[in-house]
Amino acid sequence: MLKQVSIYAENKKGCFKKITGLLMENDINILGSVTNDSAEYGIIRMVVSDPEKCIEVLKNAGFICKTTPVIAVECEDKVGALDSILKTLYDSNININYVYLSFNRETGRPIMVMHADDARAVENILVNQGYQCD
């Protein structure tokens, strides 16, 4: 299981650049990311190389952020791979709140980063079905 960093950021020019600049200056690598916006504020969700350091750096810069457990499941790079994972979870009566894509830097295979209310249950179900989870 991974820790995702969720950052509440003002929806204005340069805000995302400020965040990525702070991460770069502190040698924190972004491994996967998704952004959801609204008129005034958005949520930037990231899996990073050092979530605790990321939180410290961003909070010191005035950002509101937190960590959340997420599941990272490696899948084949083929049509229907995500559907197969979601079917497994659907059949187990699990709802996935959101998903975004990352990649295994060593193998080049896709990694689906998933958030659900009970991350442990999702991880157990997927591992029992033969999926590789982090």
65-123 pLDDT per residue, tens: 999 999 999 998 999 999 999 999 999 999 999 999 998 888 888 999 999 999 999 99
* Nearest by Cα to 26 from 4, 10, 48, 2: 48
Fold that domain 70-129 belongs to in CATH:
Alpha-Beta Plaits (3.30.70)
Q: Look at residue 11 in the predicted model and tell me its pLDDT.
A: 86
Bridge partners, 9 (sequence order): 42
Its pTM stands at: 0.86
64-81 pLDDT per residue, tens: 999 999 999 999 899 999
Burial class (CB in 10 A: 0-12, 13-18, 19+), 96: middle
Listed by start position, the domains of the chain span 2-68, 70-129
Q: Look at residue 86 in the predicted model and tell me its pLDDT.
A: 95
Amino acid at residue number 94: I
* Nearest by Cα to 32 from 85, 72, 84: 72
40-68 pLDDT per residue, tens: 788 999 999 999 999 999 999 999 999 99
CATH number for the segment(s) 2-68: 3.30.2130.10
